[in-house]
Amino acid sequence: MLKSLLTITHQEIVMTLRQAYSWITPLLFFVIVVCLFPLALGPDENTLNKVAPGIIWVGALLAIVMSIGNIFRSDAEEGHLDLLLLSAHPLTLLVLCKLISHWITHCLPLIVISPLLGILLHLNIHEESVLVISLLLGTPVFVLLGAIGSALVVGIRSHGLLLPILIMPLYIPVLIFGTGSMIAASANLPLASDFAMMGALVLISLAFAPLLTSAALRIGANQ
């Protein structure tokens, strides 16, 4: 069973990597959005350092919202979703496999490149490391919650901005604690509480999001 699930996850990653635009475009979007701010705000070190957490977090959030909408789309269009429902594995586990592979292909590149963008915004080493850790904790929540919304709109042909409207309010807590941890880092305050809260958010969404997503997908097939 575990072997089959690993195969499914692996195949998902292979599929995404073969469609390079699907993971490179959100990454480039993230880089460009963050790069625009130093140009717009001017090179002043204090200003940039102050707004850096907000810029990077909102940039990452928007990039993930862009990509998460497509997580079930090709499956629905190609009729593969019908097969997932007939699988020998619980749909919840299959959804989890898809989300893990989506996180690896879409979020990990963002996290890897974020310290580079941090240099642009004059973050010091301590702030950089906090940035990476907070993104590692925060992006899974973005993916997990985004999947619920994505599954809800999968039956709607052109959902446009409906998905961001549905899911972005749910991202607010992660955004607050994520940027909060970075602000605390720059003020040399203890970080444990922010990280603990984000860890809790990861665990809560890990427990419920795959279940809700698979329920939404079953409703989506019901039309």
Q: And the tokens for 146?
A: 């985004």
Rounded to the nearest whole angstrom, what is the least distance from the CB of residue 6 to other proteins in the complex? 8
Rounded to the nearest whole angstrom, what is the least distance from the CB of residue 75 to other proteins in the complex? 8
Rounded to the nearest whole angstrom, what is the least distance from the CB of residue 223 to other proteins in the complex? 8
Rule CB under 8 A: is residue 222 a binding residue for other proteins? yes
Site for other proteins in 149-188 (CB under 8 A): none
Query: Rounded to whole angstroms, how far apart are CA atoms 79 and 97?
Result: 18
Rule CB under 8 A: is residue 221 a binding residue for other proteins? yes
Q: Among residues 25, 28, 87, 119, which is the contact residue for other proteins, using CB under 8 A?
A: 87
Asked if residues 37 and 51 have their Cβ atoms less than 8 Å apart, the reply is yes
Rule CB under 8 A: is residue 70 a binding residue for other proteins? no
Whichever of 95 and 202 has its CB closer to other proteins, that residue is 95
Rule CB under 8 A: is residue 89 a binding residue for other proteins? yes
Instruction: Give the closest residue to 98 by CA, choosing from 61, 80, 65, 72.
Output: 72
Q: Among residues 94, 123, 185, 202, which is the contact residue for other proteins, using CB under 8 A?
A: 94
Query: Rounded to whole angstroms, how far apart are CA atoms 147 and 209?
Result: 7
- Please state the three-class secondary structure of 68-135 as a single string: HCCCCHHHHHHCHHHHHHCCCCCHHHHHHHHHHHHHHHHHHHHHHHHHHHHHHCCCCHHHHHHHHHHH
Residues that bind other proteins (CB under 8 A): 1, 4-5, 7-8, 11, 14-15, 18-19, 74, 77-80, 82-91, 94, 221-222
